[in-house]
Structure 1
Amino acid sequence: MTTVHEASDEVSVWEDDPGAPPSTRTPVLRARPALRTAPLAVDVQGAVPPDAEGAVRYWTAAEALGRTVALYAPLFPADEFPNGAAWNPAVGDVLVADLNAGVDLNAYYDRGGLAFFRQHVSGVTVWSGESPDIVSHETGHAVLDALCPWMWDAASAEIAAFHESFGDMTAVLAGLRLATLREQVIGETGGELSRSSRLSRLAEQLGWAVRQLAPSSADPDCLRNASNELFYRDPVTLPPSAPASQLSSEPHSFSRVFTGAFLRSLAGMVHTVAGTGQVDDEALLTAGQDAATLLVTAVTDTAAVPSYYAQVAAHLIEADQEKFGGKYAAALQAAFVRHGILSPASAEAIIDGATGDDDEKVGERSIAPGAPHPRGASTSEVAVSGRPYGLPEDLTVHAPVEAPRFSVAPAALSRGELVTTPGEDVAAAFVEDLFRQGRVAVPREYQRGFAAASGVDGTLRTHEVANNGAGLVLVRRVFD
């Protein structure tokens, strides 16, 4: 491997992931990315390492950061960002990535920046920041936090899972911006993007490393595969953890339902663009850009509700009507029905409402009354009993209790639709899941009974109990 100098016009980077050992992949040449350029300025902490492997790692992260923000920066809604796209104010003007934050098989976004880790596993040192999939995923968390900051503290397994799904969808969409990867994907899938491929197999090397230590904790060929057949379940009814072969309410696990539906809808969009012709590079590029446009539009319009997946899906279909004249309606409907995120009646009713069909109550579902293009969302503070967790008083959390903007519902497992769990119950279930998973840091003065177990192992605490002067509150630390 040749050392790449900082002054070069081209740098060597990994295309999407170094691959699971023994990988034969080699870095490719890409244009040297410009850092700290607005909007959505990014940077990599420290100087370019003098050694070849370190330089590739540095430029891989820098190129993935730049490619990801180039995808989203033009799509930020002008009415909310009149001066152009910007990070969450807590981040500042520049999102900085630390590629050597410590020893772990992990990466996270914490409103201060991006942290990537390393760990030596079975003779291989795995650097999470060396994978463009992982870098794009974590950058996706930062993008979504800029667009929808209310989601940060939302006490909802489904909303937390969507944050993870947004990261994985970002990795897929950012990958489609690479001509070399588009060519490989067409060859690998025959143009059927919903099939498993390098594009759908996310974080192959990190997934391999995780399997060496916990064989059931990752998919067989990657960390998570966007090509899947997972069907929606109300996360309140699911266990808080499960092997990768099963579905749980844990956000990374449950995220796969929406990611699978999104990849399937993207595959249908590709065929829509290609028409009767053969799927080609242009079809993948166009569909990817259009999918990103729909995704940003949908998430900025969706309310803070318990059945969040169904609402985002409904907004995606509505956004297609507005921006593309319903061009992708069939692809979107089919994908979200296939994965149970929308019942068939709900999916059909959205089209009827958007087109003004006289028979607008198919399946007794219709667009909910109110402003057709509401912006912004907010959670509400509710009290969850702290007693079961050894806390001396109730815990205030942010529950998703807004009125839904579409009257749609996910599918039941057999037929018909699911009844939505109330937002207060969703929040209580989320809190219980966090304590069961050991994800909550509890200050020493409150560590008695169950709460005393909060520091007994090395599990990353994504949340913490804090006292805001009025009582105990649950606060998110990171998306990992």
Structure 2
Amino acid sequence: MSSQVGAGPKVAEPLARSTSGVLSWENDPGVPPTTRRPILRPEPELGRTPLPVGIRGPQLPDGGQPGTVEFRYWNLAEVLRRTADFWGPLLAPGTKWQSQVGPALLATLDAGDNLNAFYDREGVSFWHHTTNGITVYSGESPDVVAHEVGHAVLDAIRPQLWSVASAETDGFHESFGDISAILTHLTLPTMRTAVIAETSGRVSGSSQVSRLAEQMAWAIRQRRPASVEADCMRNAANNFFYQNPLTLPTEAPAAALSRESHSFSRVFTGAFFRALGGIFQDQDSQGPDALLEAARIAGQLLVAAVTTAPIVPAYYAQLAAHLIAEDRVAHDGRYGNSLRRAFIRHGILSPREAAGLEEGDLDGRSVGLFGDAEEPELTAHSVDGAEFGLDRPLSFILPANRTRFAVAGAAPEAGSADASPPDLVGNSYVEDLFRRDQVATPAQEHTEGPHPRHYTHKIIENGDEFRLERRLFACGARV
């Protein structure tokens, strides 16, 4: 993203290069007028495996300063590669992008006028929009880029999550995107040093790395100030406490929790970020190298948990239990206390459930790093399409795998909550999509205007019924 009319943020003077490489922002250009300066990074090798990336269109020459299209091109290229390089070594051997994506994840640098960014199984797309005379480019923010690539990574390792009708699976997809940004940027030595200094070593506190998409949030705030946080889009250093999504409103201001995916994602992101801080404290020392190792360990455990956790209504709790189980497999339980404390603090596990996840319960219950979950196919469920103005039944996928751990999150008063039945979860989710006007009918799907309407879902004909399918994951901005 960028500031200034039709250009980028001001810099005091051109940034000299004493060595070869490209200029890139660390994690975000910042709120305009920015005082941040990009850093010099190695020129990215976009085609490197196991996760090749690319940018559509002709390659632009490097050497551009902030505010130029050349800078935006190479900043995007560097962050695409940076993100893929973080996740690639943590994935099972042979992992590739989701099959519809193709051999390489391709990015569109600037798809037009819209304050948005999305992943749609054809690649990742970024946009621009002018607000109060300042043009913001979503593809210039490493936070936004790494978030969208995170959606693609998760789709590569758990494609079953794509069309599940569940607020928790959707919320986790958004959380994984934010986690992708955080862990990716912690690979930068400058970022690790800055975070440790800013938080006095308590890295789960609010910092430059926890405050996500500051510039894009600024642009949204000019039109819809209550829809984003005061200084960023979302802050991973938060105290949001789990509630059953069915008890939450469809939408809410950023200060409150709702079951909308970006809002509800903050519960899991907050717990994971707190756990990352605990893993860092569990290292033998607490310097920049230890923070890099903590980020790698946290990412490894998350990938393993995603691979094995069944897709059920209480998905956050299953992920938490599997993170704890995978820690026993990979690290002999070294980080179990930090993981438990974090998930209890955010209500994803109740104290009773966390205490119940002892050695005897965990042994043999998780299939281990990159193991096969051996679960049945997720089932389709149909409802009367007339509820949504349709002339035939509407089917969608329920979160109805067999539960592996008996966990479901904390109850607000005390103890553990009961998980909701899959059909109720699915029905509520689909109704929310229609309430938020996120479902494209066949006639609407290809309708474009000066500001394209990015529906997240579509209705397709399937014999004597309609089927609901996901089209894309979008950043959630509606201005």
TM normalised by structure 1 equals 0.90
1:106 aligns with 116
Structure-2 separation of matches of 1:20 and 1:416: 42
SS at match of 1:213: coil
Deviation sequence 1:121-157 (CA, Å, 0-9, x none): 1221110100111110000000000101111111111
2:36 to 25, 29, 35: 25
Determine if the alignment matches structure 1 residue 63 to structure 2 residue 78.
Answer: yes
Structure 1 residue 479: Cα displacement: 0.5
1:228 aligns with 238
Whichever residue aligns with residue 39 of structure 1, its letter is P
2:319 to 312, 318, 334: 312
Structure-2 separation of matches of 1:206 and 1:17: 9
Structure-1 separation of matches of 2:147 and 2:444: 36
SS at match of 1:310: helix
Structure-2 separation of matches of 1:350 and 1:376: 22
Determine if the alignment matches structure 1 residue 324 to structure 2 residue 331.
Answer: yes
1:127 aligns with 137
1:43-58 correspondence to structure 2 within 5 Å: 43-46=54-57, 47-48=59-60, 51-52=64-65, 53-58=68-73
Structure 1 residue 73: Cα displacement: 1.2
Structure-2 separation of matches of 1:15 and 1:466: 41
SS at match of 1:273: coil
1:350 to 357, 362, 368: 357
1:366-445 correspondence to structure 2 within 5 Å: 374-375=372-373, 378-444=377-443
Structure-1 separation of matches of 2:300 and 2:394: 38
SS at match of 1:429: helix
Question: Compared with structure 1, are the counterparts of its residues 29 and 415 closer, same or farther at alpha carbon in structure 2 (3 Å cutoff)?
Answer: same
Determine if the alignment matches structure 1 residue 174 to structure 2 residue 173.
Answer: no
Question: Compared with structure 1, are the counterparts of its residues 98 and 3 closer, same or farther at alpha carbon in structure 2 (3 Å cutoff)?
Answer: farther
Question: Compared with structure 1, are the counterparts of its residues 195 and 59 closer, same or farther at alpha carbon in structure 2 (3 Å cutoff)?
Answer: same
Structure 1 residue 427: Cα displacement: 0.5
Deviation sequence 1:203-225 (CA, Å, 0-9, x none): 00001111011101111101111
Whichever residue aligns with residue 184 of structure 2, its letter is A
Does the aligned pair in 2 maintain the 1:44–1:99 contact within 8 Å? Answer: yes
- Name stretches of at least 5 consecutive residues in structure 2 with no aligned partner: 1-12, 475-479
Structure-2 separation of matches of 1:474 and 1:376: 25
Whichever residue aligns with residue 416 of structure 1, its letter is G
1:232-381 correspondence to structure 2 within 5 Å: 232-274=242-284, 277=285, 279-354=286-361, 374-375=372-373, 378-381=377-380
Determine if the alignment matches structure 1 residue 38 to structure 2 residue 49.
Answer: yes
Structure-2 separation of matches of 1:16 and 1:331: 26
Whichever residue aligns with residue 281 of structure 1, its letter is P
2:20 aligns with 9
Structure-2 separation of matches of 1:263 and 1:374: 27
Determine if the alignment matches structure 1 residue 209 to structure 2 residue 216.
Answer: no
* Structure 1 segments of 4+ aligned residues over 6 angstroms from their partners: none
Does the aligned pair in 2 maintain the 1:74–1:85 contact within 8 Å? Answer: no
Structure-2 separation of matches of 1:470 and 1:99: 40
Structure 1 residue 352: Cα displacement: 3.4
TM normalised by structure 2 equals 0.90
Whichever residue aligns with residue 60 of structure 2, its letter is V
1:364 aligns with none
Determine if the alignment matches structure 1 residue 466 to structure 2 residue 460.
Answer: yes
- Number of matched residues? 451
2:98 to 88, 110, 128: 88
Structure 1 residue 371: Cα displacement: 6.5
Structure-2 separation of matches of 1:295 and 1:354: 20
Does the aligned pair in 1 maintain the 2:367–2:373 contact within 8 Å? Answer: no
Structure-2 separation of matches of 1:354 and 1:38: 38
Between stretches 302-311 and 66-75, larger displacement belongs to 66-75
Does the aligned pair in 1 maintain the 2:398–2:426 contact within 8 Å? Answer: yes
Structure-2 separation of matches of 1:376 and 1:267: 33
Q: CA RMSD in A?
A: 2.2
Question: Compared with structure 1, are the counterparts of its residues 163 and 371 closer, same or farther at alpha carbon in structure 2 (3 Å cutoff)?
Answer: closer
Does the aligned pair in 1 maintain the 2:308–2:367 contact within 8 Å? Answer: no
Does the aligned pair in 2 maintain the 1:211–1:218 contact within 8 Å? Answer: yes
Between stretches 246-255 and 467-476, larger displacement belongs to 467-476
Between stretches 31-40 and 10-19, larger displacement belongs to 31-40
Structure-2 separation of matches of 1:319 and 1:9: 41
Structure 1 residue 469: Cα displacement: 2.5
1:151 aligns with 161
SS at match of 1:466: strand
Does the aligned pair in 2 maintain the 1:440–1:462 contact within 8 Å? Answer: yes
Whichever residue aligns with residue 171 of structure 1, its letter is A
Structure 1 residue 354: Cα displacement: 4.9
Structure-1 separation of matches of 2:183 and 2:340: 20
Structure 1 residue 18: Cα displacement: 0.1
SS at match of 2:305: helix
1:475 aligns with 469
Structure 1 residue 32: Cα displacement: 0.8
Structure-2 separation of matches of 1:150 and 1:29: 38
Whichever residue aligns with residue 74 of structure 1, its letter is P
Does the aligned pair in 2 maintain the 1:303–1:376 contact within 8 Å? Answer: no
Deviation sequence 1:45-104 (CA, Å, 0-9, x none): 2222675322221121111111111111122224xxxxx221011000011110111111
Structure-2 separation of matches of 1:21 and 1:333: 39
Structure-1 separation of matches of 2:281 and 2:156: 32
Does the aligned pair in 1 maintain the 2:114–2:452 contact within 8 Å? Answer: no
Question: Compared with structure 1, are the counterparts of its residues 458 and 445 closer, same or farther at alpha carbon in structure 2 (3 Å cutoff)?
Answer: closer
Deviation sequence 1:142-176 (CA, Å, 0-9, x none): 00001011111111111011000000000010011
Does the aligned pair in 1 maintain the 2:21–2:43 contact within 8 Å? Answer: yes
Does the aligned pair in 1 maintain the 2:304–2:326 contact within 8 Å? Answer: yes
Question: Compared with structure 1, are the counterparts of its residues 355 and 223 closer, same or farther at alpha carbon in structure 2 (3 Å cutoff)?
Answer: closer
Structure 1 residue 29: Cα displacement: 0.5
Structure-2 separation of matches of 1:199 and 1:445: 38
Structure 1 residue 443: Cα displacement: 2.8
